[in-house]
Amino acid sequence: MDDGLKQRLVGAFVLLALGVLFLPVLFDRDGRLSVDRTTQIPPAPKVEPLVKIPDPVRPANIEPAKKPQEMYLADESKKVSPAPAKQPGKADGLTDKGVPKAWMIQVVSYKTQKQAEELRNRLIKDGYKAFTRTVSTAKGKVTRVYVGPKIEKAKAFEVKRKLDKSLKVDSLVLRFEP
């Protein structure tokens, strides 16, 4: 027998078997079940409590809480006068302007602001707190690069040594003036 003929016969047999199984289901209307839509759940029972819980009774020796408008008022009788404010001075480590005494490192002075800003950006990138200031001198305007401020003079000198070594300069430690 030819393979094509065999395949056609098997296919026809499969289609005939499917038709025999499913065609009666499609055309049988009496075999469907109807669903009863009435509920099977009984109504909730009415339950009466066995023991009635009495209302709370306030003991005679406890006074009721104050109204919210009265509860959070300051008690004027217990008011404490503030301590006198300290005047800024040398003992506090503050300048006459009330700013902490601090130290800064003058790294270099440049004639052009662009050079100063490049070094400042490099120092900031390296983790230092660097800034620039432009000042007028006898030789004209210069832009100085500073690092700091540092509260402790010893830490300022430590930073100076690091900067002198890495930049091959002789920097200055000066009093910080904001």
User: Which CATH number covers residue 146?
Assistant: 3.30.70.1070
pLDDT digits (tens, 9 = 90+) for 54-74: 888 878 888 878 887 777 666
Tell me the longest C-alpha to C-alpha distance in the chain. Answer: 119
Asked if residue 123 belongs to a domain, the reply is: yes
Mean pLDDT of all residues belonging to the chain:
83
**3-class state of residue 67 by DSSP:** coil
Asked if residue 147 belongs to a domain, the reply is: yes
Asked if residue 112 belongs to a domain, the reply is: yes
Residue 80 CA to its chain's centroid (Å): 38
What DSSP string describes 76-107? GGG--PPPPPPPP-GGGTB-TTSPBP-EEEEE
Asked if residue 143 belongs to a domain, the reply is: yes
Residues 114-125 have a mean pLDDT of 93
Q: What is the pTM assigned to this prediction?
A: 0.48
Q: Which residues pair with 135 in a beta bridge?
A: 142
The answer on pLDDT for 175 being more than 80 is yes
Asked if residue 94 belongs to a domain, the reply is: no
Asked if residue 89 belongs to a domain, the reply is: no
Task: Fill in the DSSP letter of residue 142.
Answer: E
- Give residue 139's pLDDT: 85
What gap in Å lies between CA 105 and CA 95, rounded to an integer? 19
- Give residue 31's pLDDT: 63
Asked if residue 105 belongs to a domain, the reply is: yes
Contact 108, 144 (CB under 8 A): yes
What percent of the chain has pLDDT above 70? Answer: 85
Task: Fill in the DSSP letter of residue 53.
Answer: P
